[in-house]
Amino acid sequence: MAVPGTELSTRLPGALKDAAIAAFIALALFVFLIGIRTVDAAGVFPLRARPWLLAVFVGAIFTGRLALNLFWWNGSETSGTLAKALAPVTGLAERSARWLAPALIAFAAFLPFMPFADRYVLDVSIMVLTYIMLGWGLNVVVGLAGLLDLGYVAFYAVGAYSYALIATHFGLSFWVSLPLAGLLAALWGIILGFPVLRLRGDYLAIVTLAFGEMIRIILINWYSLTNGPDGISRIPRPSFFGLQLTRNGEPSFHEYFGLTYSPLQRITYLFYIILALALLTNFVTKRLRNLPIGRAWEALREDEIACRSLGINTRNTKLTAFAIGAMFGGFAGSFFATRQGFISPESFTFIESAIILAIVVLGGMGSQIGVVVAAVVMIGGFELFRELEQFRMLMFGAAMVAIMIWRPRGLITAREPSVYLKEKKPVSADLVQEGHG
Amino acid sequence: MEYFLQQLINGLTLGSIYGLIAIGYTMVYGIIGMINFAHGDIFMVGAFIALISFIALLSAGLTFVPLALLIVLIISMSFTAMWGWTVERIAYRPLRASFRLAPLITAIGMSITLQNFVQTAQGARVKPLQPIISGGFEIMEHDGFIVNLSYMQILIILITVGLMIAFSLIISRTPLGRAQRACEQDRTMAELSGINVDRTISLTFVMGAALAAVAGVMYLLYYGVIDFYIGFIAGIKAFTAAVLGGIGSLPGAMLGGMIIGLIEVFWSAYFSIDYKDVAAFSMLVLVLIFMPSGLLGRPEVEKV
């Protein structure tokens, strides 16, 4: 590491040494995994050496580390430089929360009528909104109640399968099935929440993860109900007050309103459905925070023992958090099923849970606007790299690590207090337990 | 009876592999109180390094199996240990003073990164390895059903027992082990009495990764195929094993691994192979609810 406040030339030898060590470690790490490639075709020597690729990687690490040493870590604080550099940006986001949220909602409401809003933009927006909704739903469990749930995708799956099964077997419409699917998901939230009431922290995380995987395995293997890995197809689309948004629907939306048919109408309609669902999630969460139950959640997160000694029923508090979070997950799942028209257990892997949790934590736990920022950054960024199919997940994982190290408290660190005297003052995340507030 | 015996042998072999991975979880959890989510993927990296070095050695003309195996073990252990060290250095050390969830998130990120790194670098297909060690003993035969104890299984169980003894000795007898136990009990106090805490934690990761690498080599030899995804499920099961045995306890991890291996094998043999993972996960849930401190663990005292 460089010595504080010295000239570039005097820092050079140390920087070179440090970079050389880094390059050596990189060489050791990559020599087998990058330097040699196993060839898929069967042969006598199914290996192929890739010395140049290895050299490129090691060289990149050497120069990167050297540059970091010389120009970035100016000898002073090694950490927080980037955070300081970006502080105005994030600070602005925090201060502007008052008008940012209405502005974002207005932007979202008019998005389908913007000139650039083609089918691709709308599809991506629908996906981002779905994740925002999931993030807000999970925020109830993780951000408010402090229960680390790594199996949130289970409720998403329950919602999706409930809707798909109800709609295909009983022919109920989307708007009837949606609350049913939400209720079923909430029920599952209670069923899965009950056994884990006594667990906390990491143990809770791993058990909920196991639950998520169990639900997926059951979905794969219960062939008679779920059609197994083949999934359920031809799931009905939502209707607009009985009007179908398809070309040959009877009665059809475009004929009723005298419009020419365009598939964009259906996408736009779906966009507004998910926007409404997401805003409903946000609204309900915000209101719940002011109710006794919401305060009990936050108290539970801060100190469970104190909570219990104050007479809060921790069992019911935890179960309501699980149930409400699960219900929103179920709504989002129903929406997912009706949007895709086809669902299979493949859509509900652990990686989905990890993405949703990452959105909540990277956004700054408990922060509603943070979830929006994180979802746009993560899912939008993910979408930007669509060309690089192979490297997408790799970048995603690396970004998760990098953002967390750079801002462990999440992108939006200030918290809005739910109870205050006379005026609201943002609370720094450092002042609350577990970093969420 | 013969079928039962055969499954018992298979279960113990599988259990050895889980147990070795579980030790990595239990040591890390013991010392810094976090679930090293990327540990399963470290195991997968170990298996890949072993596969590549095995093929390289064989194609270089080294056909004397014991020597090749020894070299592969050493290579895989040392290089995987490097990975373990790097993961700790990059993803966990900067967050040591942070709140509890932060390292869990970076661990999940690291797990995704490692999986996809290996997938991109080595391809997504299943990688086969020709059988290296074949043959075995026929223990008994009855009504045409032969109970087999292969050399491979003997080797796996022997190596596991040997490593268990060696690591128990390291933990209980050496200065490093003493430092580890001190950090586990009270990190601040250990630092005050002159223990280099960062170095001790790094070495814990290195040891855990080396054991995971051994498990990776065994998995590769036993099943003959690996892919980039093997770390995830094996990781959860090994964690289950660590919890079952009592987190923080080395013999507990081994015992837990054996039990999980047996449950999985017997469940597949007598009930349903499709639901074998569900059996292992249900076990995890049941243990955590009814016996949170595990079989050999110390109960956690909650402080206000």
The residue-averaged pLDDT of A69-86 equals 59
Percent share of chain B, pLDDT over 70: 98
Residues A399 and A349 in one domain: yes
Residue A92: predicted pLDDT: 64
Among residues 230-289 of chain A, which lie with CB inside 8 Å of chain B?
A: none
**Confidence check: pLDDT of A301 > 90:** no
**Token pair belonging to A11:** 């820092």
Residues A164 and A33 in one domain: no
CB pairs under 8 A between A and B: 179
Shared-domain flag, residues A32 and A169: no
Mean pLDDT of B242-265: 89
Quote the pLDDT of residue A436: 40
* Nearest-by-Cβ selection for A401 from B101, B106, B292: B106
The reply to whether B105 falls in a domain is yes
Asked whether residue B238 is assigned to any structural domain, the reply reads: no
- pLDDT at residue A78, rounded to an integer: 46
Per 3-state DSSP, what percentage of chain A is helix, strand, and coil (rounded to 5)? 70, 5, 25
Band of pLDDT at residue A332, cut at 50, 70 and 90: very high
Residues of B within 8 A of A382 (CB-CB) are: none
Domain containing residue B110: 2-230
Q: Please check whether residues A149 and A12 belong to one and the same domain.
A: no
Q: How far is A430 from chain B (nearest CA, A)?
A: 9
Q: Which two tokens stand for residue B255?
A: 């015992």
User: Is the CB of A351 less than 8 angstroms away from the CB of B112?
Assistant: yes
- Tell me if residue B140 falls in helix, strand or coil: strand
pLDDT at A202: 74
- Judge whether A196 is closer than 8 Å to chain B, CB to CB: yes
A360: closest chain B residue by CA: B105
Question: What is the spatial distance between Cα B96 and Cα B183, in angstroms, rounded to a whole number?
Answer: 13
Q: Are residues A424 and A277 in the same domain?
A: yes
CA closest to B45 among chain A residues: A33
**Residue A77 clears pLDDT 50, i.e. is over it:** no
* Residue A213 structural domain: 96-237+264-435
What average pLDDT does the segment B182-189 reach?
87
Output the CA–CA distances (angstroms, integers) from residue A160 to A164, A223, A262, A270, A334, in the order listed. Answer: 6, 16, 26, 15, 4
Tens of pLDDT, residues B62-92: 778 889 899 999 999 999 999 999 999 999 9
Q: In sequence order, which residues have a C-beta less than 8 Å from that of residue A210 and are 6 or more positions away?
A: A151, B236, B240, B281, B284, B285
Domain-embedded: residue B148: yes
Chain A CB within 8 Å of residue B113 CB: yes
Residue B151 lies in a domain: yes
Partner-chain contact B285 A350, CB within 8 Å? no
Residues A72 and A157 in one domain: no
Q: Does A418 share its domain with A364?
A: yes
Best mutation target among B49, B74, B104 (most A Cβ atoms within 10 Å) is B104
Is B97 a residue whose pLDDT tops 90? no
Is residue A46 located within the same domain as residue A184?
A: no
Shortest Cα–Cα distance, B249 to chain A (Å): 16
Within this chain, do residues A128 and A158 fall inside the same structural domain, yes or no? yes
Is the pLDDT confidence value at A7 over 80? no
How many percent of chain A have pLDDT more than 70? 84
Is A362 an 8 Å CB contact of chain B?
yes
What pLDDT score does A260 carry? Answer: 74
Q: Does any domain span residue A15?
A: yes
Confidence of residue A121 (pLDDT cuts 50, 70, 90): confident
Cα B145 versus chain centre, distance? 32
Segment A115-133 mean pLDDT: 88
Flag if B108 and A218 touch (Cβ within 8 Å).
no
Q: CA A382 to CA A393: how far, in whole Å?
A: 8
Number of domains composing chain B: 1
Q: Which two tokens stand for residue B58?
A: 């064989």
A163-177, A322-336, B202-216: range with lowest mean pLDDT: A163-177
Residue A177: CB atoms within 10 A of its CB come to 26
Nearest CA in chain A to B91: A401
What is the reported pLDDT for A180?
Answer: 92
Q: Is residue A256 part of a domain?
A: no
Same domain, A197 and A164: yes
In this structure, are residues A428 and A414 in contact, taking their beta carbons and an 8 Å threshold? yes
Q: Which residue in chain B has the smallest CA separation from A202?
A: B35
* Residue A64 structure tokens: 């990167």
| Interface probe with B: pick from A191, A206, A310, A406, most Cβ of B within 10 Å | A206
In this structure, the answer to whether residues A13 and A44 fall within a common structural domain is yes
Kindly state the average pLDDT of the residues A21-33: 87
pLDDT at A365 over 80: no
Residue B130 predicted with pLDDT over 60: yes
Q: DSSP string covering A171-210, please?
A: ---HHHHHHHHHHHHHHHHHHHHGGGTT--HHHHHHHHHH
Rounded CA separation A332/A155 (Å): 9
| Among A350, A400, A435, beta carbon nearest to B109 | A400
Q: Does B131 touch chain A (CB under 8 A)?
A: no
* CA nearest to B53 within chain A: A32
The DSSP line for A239-281 is -BTTBB-STT-SSBHHHHTT----HHHHHHHHHHHHHHHHHHH
Per-residue confidence (pLDDT) for residue A419, from 0 to 100: 64
Tell me if A391 is assigned to some domain. Answer: yes
| Enclosing H/E stretch for B149 | strand B145-150
B277 reaches A (C-beta below 8 A): yes
Residue A435 pLDDT? 41
Query: Of the candidates B82, B109, B122, which has its C-beta nearest A37's C-beta?
Result: B122
**Which of A30, A46, A78 is the last residue in one of the domains?**
A78
C-alpha–C-alpha distance, residues A331 and A323, integer Å: 12
**Chain A partners within 8 Å of B35 (Cβ):** 202, 205-206
Task: Identify which of A207, A220, A221 has the shortest CB distance to residue B285.
Answer: A207
pLDDT exceeds cutoff 90 at B127: no
Q: For the ranges A366-370, A383-387, A404-408, B158-162, which has the lowest average pLDDT?
A: A383-387
Determine, yes or no, domain membership for A225: yes
Minimum CA–CA partner of B282 in chain A? A210
The pTM is what? 0.86
Instruction: Name the residue of chain A whose CA is nearest to B276's CA.
Output: A217
Distance from CA of A212 to the nearest CA of B (A): 10
The answer to whether residue A246 is domain-embedded is: no
Closest by CA to A233, choosing from A166, A162, A168, A178, is A168
Domain membership flag for residue A90 = no
Q: What secondary structure does DSSP assign to A57-105, as a single string?
A: HHHHHHHHHHHIIIIIS-SS-SSSHHHHHHHHHHHHHHHTHHHHHHHHH
For chain A, percent of residues with pLDDT exceeding 90: 19
Q: Which candidate, A102, A172, A91, places its Cα nearest to that of A334?
A: A172
| Tens digits of residue pLDDT in A160-214 | 999 999 988 888 888 888 999 999 999 999 998 888 877 767 778 888 888 898 8
Is the confidence at residue B50, as pLDDT, over 90? yes
CB A47: neighbour CB atoms within 10 A? 16
Q: What is the mean pLDDT of residues B148-159?
A: 88
In chain A, the number of structural domains is 2
Q: Which of the residue ranges A73-82, A150-159, B52-61 would you say has the lowest mean pLDDT?
A: A73-82
A323, part of any domain: yes
Residue A2 has pLDDT above 60, yes or no: no
Q: Which of A214, A220, A390 sits opposite B281 (nearest CB)?
A: A214
- For residue B139, give how far its alpha carbon lies from the nearest alpha carbon of chain A (Å): 35
- Tell me if B296 is assigned to some domain: no
Contact (CB, 8 A) for B215 and B160: no
Q: Is B236 on the interface with A (CB under 8 A)?
A: yes
Are A285 and A350 in a shared domain? Answer: yes
Q: Mean pLDDT across chain B, nearest whole number?
A: 87
- The Cα of B231 is separated from the nearest Cα of chain A by a number of Å equal to 13
Three-state DSSP class for residue A37:
strand
Res B220: pLDDT: 92
When the pLDDT of each residue in chain A is averaged and rounded to a whole number, the result is 82
- Of B94, B113, B288, Cβ closest to residue A397: B113
- The predicted model gives A116-137 an average pLDDT of 89
